[in-house]
Structures are given as structure tokens and as C-alpha cells.
Chains A and B, each alone.
Chain A
Amino acid sequence: DTEVTQTPKHLVMGMTNKKSLKCEQHMGHRAMYWYKQKAKKPPELMFVYSYEKLSINESVPSRFSPECPNSSLLNLHLHALQPEDSALYLCASSQIGGLTGELFFGEGSRLTVL
């Protein structure tokens, strides 16, 4: 079983809706990530949080708003999305300064924007 839990697994929203994706991990990792993945393409990094602070924003449009309320939780708030934002959104976590650089991924939230 994955140790990174994402909810919901599927989400359908209109372009005027506001919704949120949630991610939780209990491995004690202090780095958490949001990736966006189109079908059969590699994941693209969106945001990185280190010690609950945003450390990397890969020039993501402001209609995506990340939040890290505590060391175990990561949210992605969605507002006024476009159909091209439909994708699989993956959350991941890792140790900071770990020896291997391994990321642990959740199962993803599949988003459809109508």
C-alpha cells in the first residue's frame, strides 16, 4: 500500500468551480511535492515545500494555489481552471537531504475540467 494518500481519486469540475486536492503522508518526510502528469508523459514538477515553506514554484499559473498546513498535509487549491489543466496530479514526499533522493508518490488525483 502507498504511504502517500491522495484524495479525491477522481474530480470533475467546471471552469468556474473552486476545488481542492489533498495529500497526506506519515513517514516524517519534510519535503512534499506536487506534480502534473499528462497521459503517458513524464510528471512535471509544479511545487516543492520544504519544512512547510514553499521552496520551488515552477512558474505555475496562479489558478493553482498550494498550501502546506503542517508537516503531514499538502493541499492544492484549484480555481478558474482551463480544460487543458485536465491531468493526473501526483503528490510525493521525501526526506530533506536524504542520501538517495528517493521520492514516494501517491496514487494521484485524476482531474477533468469541463
Chain B
Amino acid sequence: GDSVTQMEGPVTLSEEAFLTINCTYTATGYPSLFWYVQYPGEGLQLLLKATKADDKGSNKGFEATYRKETTSFHLEKGSVQVSDSAVYFCALSEIQGGTSYGKLTFGQGTILTVHP
């Protein structure tokens, strides 16, 4: 079945440091890939997405590129802020025949803490 593997956390950084959170996946079809973010005490928010190979999703200074050859979707940000402290989930949605099944497969999540 489909699976998503995220780098183990937690990740602790100083403000303005560079962030990378690794994500790799296995899927039988051609999935869409997502990064969701969950701030303390809140629900899940879509951070960015990519639907085909070499697509780059970007939002709020975060970027991730859909790499089919390495089955990866690593999240990066050049300069993190204290307000970026949250839990980050990589996820995929199986797409077959051009349509989705509507089920998300999540990674285990990475806790990011940014200190001033």
C-alpha cells in the first residue's frame, strides 16, 4: 500500500536558520503530494501541494519539489521564524485515471521548534 516517511524529529532551529524536512513516499499510482501544517491548538492547514513530477509548490516562503525519480517531496525554507513553530505533515493522495480516491496517507509528522 501507499506510505509516507518523514524525517524523525523533533527539529529545533534558531530564527533565520535554513530548514529542510525530508519526505519520501511509496505509491502504486501517480499521487498528488502535500505538506500540511498544524499550529499549536489548531487544525490542519494546507501549506503547499504539487500534482505532477517536477512541480514546485510554494507558500509563505516554504517550497517543495515533486521528485518522481527519488520519490521525494522535501520541505525547505530559507529563513525560519518563531511563528513557524508547528507540526508539519507530509501526505499523498492516490490519483489513478486522472481522478483522486480522496484518501490521504500521512507521514508521522515533524515537530519544528524555532527559538529567537
Contacts and interface: CB of A to CB of B under 8 A. Distances in A.
A112 to B, nearest CB: 14
Contacts, number: 76
A94 B94 CA distance: 14
B45 to A, nearest CB: 7
Contacts of A42: 89, 106-109
Interface stretch (A65-73, A79-87, A95-103): A95-103
Q: How large is the interface on A (under 10, 10 to 19, 20 to 34, 35 or more residues)?
A: 20 to 34
Interface in A18-42: 31, 33, 40-42
A42 B43 CA distance: 11
Contact of A107 (B42, B95, B100): B42
Interface of A: 2, 6, 31, 33, 40-43, 45, 48, 50, 56, 88, 90, 92, 94-108
